[in-house]
Structure 1
């Protein structure tokens, strides 16, 4: 583990004023991989300073006018907002060890990597004696969104730090949301990705059923992408501000009842088809058992009423 640097002494009267009162200045970007490089490219016209352990990763941005730094400390010395898009917690910690002793008070370090929420909180505590703000600001939208500048960014941190980051983040994101204090951005990203990758497992289950039933998978995929683009996919049902049961007088109650009726019918039919073709569909069974509760409604179908798994 890289040694934690010792905080500098409090600023003396001959030192420059806190950079919160200064113009933004150059923007730093550390980590120029598949996501970081296209994100940084959107900032190349504003005095961008970049660093990556691979010199060849910096070259395209230098060609666009960025300045290559020799390391994180050099980025920190000249920039008042610094983005990190490195691989994992260990790399974030290593880069931060170089930034903290070199950055001016009032610098903001934005961590875009998906890390443990506790890591962001711990780094914010470590940065506090330096008067450096940490925001955890993971992104969603993939390489395509990074290229197009259409990412979503979930920001955890102080209100004033978020306000300073909002405009530069908007060069590579078209949805910039403040989720709460430090750590909240990462918690939001982990919840979002739970949905993402659980859906991937459900995709595999649906494909197995479709293939067994003689459905052409690539045509089915076209239908899924088309209809999700129209309806909004799973996000279209994320309408509530709480997961508590809905009150019958809530305007959403009738909407969710309709969703439940359709969902129970269609999941039951899919499970019948799976049993007919000998395809095990555990996620579909779980979805049928838990759909009502997930929608905030009392259950209308018990596990004993659910279509039996194949072989039972």
Structure 2
């Protein structure tokens, strides 16, 4: 296993050499995370082609920064040598690649920045390889604010030569880059990462419901945990809703949380691993999702409300 870390202070050297690259970048999925990533690619001097989906505002902003808008995925494929995809999950990534494939130039690299099913990623890599193209999975760690600042983290699954090609582009939007191994390993690690963070969310929600039930307020609970050994960055953004009422403190949907935990369950099933904690975490999000937390503005910290309601706790 090869691991390469690239601390933030080392990125200037990468960026100074970027404009000399012959790579032309396509970007599909300029949403909460994708817009900032694409903007940083453009800022670094790479020719950038983007495509609109349902929201034109991010694309129009990127065009104002120097990007070119493609009318179709085939047009984007024809204009690009490295294509980023930021999509909700594997079904969408599979559909996008199926549409791109006939128009891809030989040697094109697809960089999947979604949180995807590793089994799907590995199969897509084989299809692309058969067409003379390449796959790299580069799921994201961080927030939309970090995306805009070019300070995301990423864990990459790709062949060594493919990683060498995409690294200067990824350095435009990532502050920490870890190369884990071949295609699929990035998405495997991302699911493990999300298991931890979403597990925290489920634990915090249940602990807060129990806290209120036994007469300890959320504010009192927070006064003990915040700043202690149990504190962490995820706790602070999560509690931005529970304590401060900021509904957008951590903008990751309950729908995506449930999807990721289902992918984790599938990964565990694939290696015959018992994962009772993972199943319990998945069920917390499944219950919230079934109870109405399935909208585009229903975020992970809102899980506290669903767990409280299930237990008769008045918030």
Q: Distance between the aligned counterparts of 1:223 and 1:132, measured in 2?
A: 53
Give the deviation of 1:116 after TM superposition.
0.9
Flag the 1:224–1:149 CA change in 2: closer, same or farther, 3 A.
Answer: farther
Q: Match of 1:47?
A: 47
- Any unmatched runs of 5+ in structure 1? 1-21, 235-282, 287-312
Please tell me whether the aligned partners of residues 24 and 81 of structure 1 are also in contact (alpha carbons under 8 angstroms). Answer: no
Match of 1:93 in 2: 94
Runs of 5+ unmatched residues, structure 2? 1-19, 236-276, 281-315
Distance 1:228 1:28 in 2: 43
Secondary structure of 2:175's counterpart equals strand
Greater relative contact order structure (CA < 8 Å, 6+ sep): 2
Task: Please tell me whether the aligned partners of residues 197 and 234 of structure 2 are also in contact (alpha carbons under 8 angstroms).
Answer: no
Q: Residues 110, 216 of structure 1: CA spacing in aligned structure 2 closer, same or farther, 3 A cutoff?
A: same
Q: 1:219 to 1:37 in 2, by over 3 A?
A: farther
1:37 to 35, 40, 64: 35
Give the distance between the partners of 1:189 and 1:180, measured in 2 at CA.
13
Matches of 1:158 and 1:69, distance apart in 2: 29
Query: Could you tell me how far apart the structure 1 residues matched to 2:200 and 2:57 are?
Result: 36
Counterparts in 2 of 1:221 and 1:132: CA distance versus 1, 3 Å: farther
Asked if the contact 1:152/1:175 (under 8 Å) is kept, the reply is: yes
Give the secondary structure class of the aligned counterpart of 1:153: strand
SS at match of 1:177: strand
1:229 to partner: Cα distance: 9.6
Deviations, residues 240-286 of structure 1 (Å, cap 9, x unaligned): xxxxxxxxxxxxxxxxxxxxxxxxxxxxxxxxxxxxxxxxxxx8xx9
- Give the TM-score normalised by the residue count of structure 1: 0.63
Aligned to 2:197: 196
Please report how far the alpha carbon of residue 23 of structure 1 lies from its aligned counterpart in structure 2 after TM superposition: 4.5
Q: Computing the radius of gyration over CA atoms, which structure comes out larger, 1 or 2?
A: 1
Stretch of structure 1 that moved more, 143-152 or 210-219: 210-219
| Corresponding residue for residue 244 of structure 1 | none
Aligned 1:1-312 pairs, distance under 5 A = 23-45=21-43, 46-54=46-54, 55-218=56-219, 220-221=221-222, 224-227=225-228
